[in-house]
């Protein structure tokens, strides 16, 4: 029954980035609204300039906690289709694992919450909290219209806390509470030389090569032992707390695992920190792409007229994208050789996020996880990635978010053969019930 519903949900090719799928995205929103109404919630579709938002709520009563559960019904494109074992929008169950686009990210996880609510309503006739479901259709394309939607519906979305299941578990069966996310700041730089590509025999040696200048510039970003060498970069970085370092050192994910998952010949990072500390608690500077000059087969003796690189920086509390990009730009300008020009273009940014896992709501979330995964210790982690919407919630609605993800490290979200174990789906249904009960106890 639960699985039938999930399979129906997964059959919608609700790929938000594809204009040809606009109809499928809308049908998926309609289907979702009907399911929410069917279990007894007041559910409505809200059109936006992009894909619609689905909102649902029970009858709110004073004196109870108000909990907002956020999720998304849109999915990533299914490409490359040839690499899927079964069809991406025809869900298949193999060895207790559901294979389909969206199985983990995020249909399986948000439907688990809906079914948890359905179970509670069936058994008890009411929920222990005032509940709001906010399920959007544009998460995979940057939640473009969600901030405006939140601002516009601010009063009806007032809540005490937000819960989201769209992050990962450190290992199968290990209940995981994510209390921090890194932020991001992006920048592109272009090193400009002569007005056109030059013959490297005729001019090489007398005109500076922009590709060489770029390589020198990029080499100034780090020290040899992996520290970021941009002046002031670490100034606002909040040091890791002793309890974090202690508890992360006991998690069931070690360097061996990172080596095997990544296939890298060896691990490398900032001296003085473990891999998990580097991933979750320390900022980075990354070159995401680099280009310029001849890229074809064979040889071409050219001195390219320009070279470019795309950089992103992962940020931790209390860095801000603007301050970091100011520092990076000043550093690049100072380090750039005088014989070339330098153009810097700022890209998108997102602030880092952190909430106290030992707060009243954090402790309630931990109790809920222990009840949903009996006999297991809760892993308290941060993640290296960024979920900008979590900061938007904080900024617009003024509330913290509890990240209670059910995705496994090998769930293949965004890739071919995305999958979600039935066990995680069932655990998610139970987690919703224990979470609402534990949050109600904080009132
Ligand atoms: Zn995703």
pLDDT (0 to 100) of residue 1: 79
**Given the residues 105, 139, 277, 438, the one annotated as active site:** 139
The per-residue pLDDT for 223 is 97
Integer Cα distance of 309 and 304 in angstroms: 14
Let me know if 277 is a catalytic residue.
no
| Residue 388 pLDDT exceeds 90 | no
Distance (angstroms) between ligand 1 centre and the Cα of 106 equals 7
Q: Ligand 1 center to residue 78 CA distance, Å? A: 12
What is the pLDDT, as a whole number, of residue 336? Answer: 97
Q: What is the pLDDT of residue 395?
A: 93
Mean pLDDT computed over 221-248? 97
Q: What is the pTM of this model?
A: 0.90
Average pLDDT on 329-350 reads: 96
Instruction: Note the pLDDT tens digit of each residue in 71-107.
Output: 999 999 999 999 999 999 999 999 999 999 999 999 9
Q: What is the mean pLDDT of residues 403-420?
A: 95
Instruction: Tell how far the Cα of 248 is from the centroid of ligand 1, in angstroms.
Output: 25
- Cα of 83 from ligand 1 centre, angstroms: 19
For residue 261, pLDDT beyond 90: no
Of 436, 353, 435, the C-alpha closest to 394 is 353
Mean pLDDT of 208-232: 97
Give the mean pLDDT of 239-254.
94
Question: Does the pLDDT at position 402 exceed 90?
Answer: yes
Residue 139 appears among annotated catalytic residues: yes
Average pLDDT over residues 253-264: 90
Catalytically annotated residue among 74, 138, 160, 306? 74
Cα(136) to centroid of ligand 1, in Å? Answer: 12
Query: 76 C-alpha to center of ligand 1: Å?
Result: 7
Give me ligand 1 centre to Cα 72, in Å: 9
On average, the pLDDT of the chain sits at 96
pLDDT tens profile 120-152: 999 999 999 999 999 999 999 989 999 999 999
Distance (angstroms) between ligand 1 centre and the Cα of 318 equals 26
Predicted pLDDT at 12: 98
Model pLDDT for residues 350-368, shown as the tens digit of each residue? 899 999 999 999 999 999 9
- In this prediction, residue 253 carries a pLDDT of 85
In angstroms, what is the span from residue 243 Cα to ligand 1's centroid?
Answer: 30
pLDDT band at 252 (very low <50, low <70, confident <90, very high): confident
**Could you tell me the pLDDT band of residue 48, with boundaries at 50, 70 and 90?**
very high
CA of 5 to the centre of ligand 1 (A): 21
Evaluate if residue 177 carries a pLDDT over 90.
yes
């Amino acid at each position: 029954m639960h699985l039938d519903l999930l399979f129906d949900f997964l059959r919608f090719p609700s790929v938000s980035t594809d204009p040809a799928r606009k109809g499928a995205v809308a049908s998926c929103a309609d289907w979702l609204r009907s399911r929410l109404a069917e279990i007894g919630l007041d559910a409505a579709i809200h059109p936006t300039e992009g894909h619609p938002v689905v909102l649902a709520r029970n009858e709110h009563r004073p004196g109870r906690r108000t909990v907002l559960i956020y999720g998304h019904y849109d999915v990533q494109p299914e490409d490359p289709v040839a690499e899927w074992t079964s069809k991406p929008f025809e869900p298949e169950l193999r060895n207790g694992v559901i294979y389909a686009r969206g199985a983990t990210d995020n249909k399986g996880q948000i439907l688990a919450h809906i079914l948890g609510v359905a179970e509670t309503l069936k058994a008890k006739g009411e929920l222990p909290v005032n509940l709001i479901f906010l399920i959007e259709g544009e998460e995979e394309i940057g939640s473009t219209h969600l901030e405006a939607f939140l601002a516009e519906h601010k009063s009806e979305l007032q809540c005490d806390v937000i819960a989201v299941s769209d992050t990962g578990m450190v290992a199968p069966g290990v209940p995981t509470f994510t209390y921090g996310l890194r932020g991001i700041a992006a920048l592109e730089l272009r090193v400009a030389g002569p007005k056109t590509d030059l013959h490297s025999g005729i001019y090489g040696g007398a005109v500076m090569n922009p590709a060489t200048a770029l390589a020198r510039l990029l080499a100034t970003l780090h020290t040899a032992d992996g520290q970021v060498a941009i002046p002031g970069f670490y100034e606002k970085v909040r040091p890791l707390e002793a309890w974090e370092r202690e508890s992360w050192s006991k998690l069931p994910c070690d360097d061996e695992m990172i080596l095997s998952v990544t296939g890298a010949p060896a691990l490398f990072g900032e001296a003085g920190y473990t891999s998990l500390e580097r991933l979750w608690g320390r900022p980075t500077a990354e070159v995401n792409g680099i280009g310029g000059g001849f890229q074809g087969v064979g040889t071409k003796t050219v001195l390219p007229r320009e070279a470019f690189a795309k950089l992103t920086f992962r940020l931790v509390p209390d860095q801000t994208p603007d301050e970091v990009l100011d520092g990076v730009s000043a550093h690049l300008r100072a380090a750039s050789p005088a014989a070339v020009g330098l153009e810097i273009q700022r890209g998108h940014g997102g602030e880092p996020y952190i909430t106290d896992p030992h707060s009243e709501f954090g402790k309630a979330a931990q109790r809920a996880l222990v009840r949903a995964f009996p006999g297991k210790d809760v892993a308290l982690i941060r993640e290296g990635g960024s979920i900008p919407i979590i900061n938007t919630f904080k900024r617009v609605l003024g509330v913290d978010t509890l990240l209670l993800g059910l995705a496994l490290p090998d769930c293949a979200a965004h890739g071919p053969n995305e999958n979600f174990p039935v066990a995680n789906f069932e655990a998610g249904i139970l987690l919703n019930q224990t979470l609402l009960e534990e949050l109600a106890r904080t009132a």
